[in-house]
Structure 1
Amino acid sequence: MKNKDTGNFGENLAAEYLIKNGFDILTKNWRYKHLEIDIIASKDQKLHIVEVKTRSTIAYGHPEQFIGKQKFQFLKNAAAMYQYQHAQWKNIQFDVIAITLKQPIEILFLEDVFF
């Protein structure tokens, strides 16, 4: 599976996971200029900015280890713009879903990862 296909597959798995856990998916792959948010969801009147990392194996590290400071800064900037455009959202939380595709598929949901 190519990296883009792996990423898309992981984002679809993450969205399914969130829905099963009571989240509403507002949008996927939201973009503003060079910034992107994988999934924007809501639950209990809180906006969730979700970064999804998918790896086919953990041979080179767990998926969540591949999210660096620069990515978090991009997410902060993107979330600020989304909040500006959708001012009704006052409560915001940043989450990570890390997926490993080895069998069985592993999904790790890390809530409120910064701020």
Structure 2
Amino acid sequence: MAEHNDSGKLAEELAADWLVSKGYEFLVKNYRHSHAEIDLIMKHRGLLIFVEVKFRSGTGFGFAEEFVDSVKRKLIIKAADHFIYENDWHKDIRFDIIGVYRDRTGKINFRHFEDAFY
């Protein structure tokens, strides 16, 4: 597996752990429907939350939220619609982006963008 794939998987695990430490309930990792994938599906305060995780080893090329384009958003929404239907969910939902950043010293930081799109 390529190094960037390993970094992405690690970032997803770190983001899930970080969200759980903030009181979120972990439901699913890497949910797939057709060509679409949702990195994390969580619950928090009665909301079903679909999370896109982006890893960056710096901000020289931009912030994580800038890398979730309209095509990616549409795919995530398509997969979310399927998950909602499969699980007969009738409450509110939200789409978030978590930026996972590693600084020069190796320290991991998170940026959480709640209600990032729809």
TM over 0.5: yes
The one-letter code of the counterpart of 1:59 is: G
- Within 1, Cα distance between the matches of 2:85 and 2:98? 25
- Within 1, Cα distance between the matches of 2:34 and 2:75? 11
TM-score norm. by structure 2 comes to: 0.91
- Deviates further, 56-65 or 2-11: 56-65
- Within 1, Cα distance between the matches of 2:11 and 2:73? 19
- The answer on 1:78 being equivalent to 2:102 is no
Say whether the 8 Å CA contact 1:97–1:109 is kept in structure 2: yes
The one-letter code of the counterpart of 1:114 is: F
Percent of pairs with identical residues: 35
Counterpart of 1:58 in structure 2 is 59
1:59-90: CA deviation from partner (whole Å, max 9, x where unpaired): 21122211111111111111101001011342
Q: Number of matched residues?
A: 115
Structure 2 matches for 1:3-82, cutoff 5 A?
A: 3-82=4-83
- Within 1, Cα distance between the matches of 2:56 and 2:47? 28
Counterpart of 1:114 in structure 2 is 117
The one-letter code of the counterpart of 1:26 is: L
- Within 2, Cα distance between the matches of 1:11 and 1:75? 15
Counterpart of 1:100 in structure 2 is 101
Unpaired runs of 5+ residues, structure 2, are none
Shift in Å, 1:104: 2.6
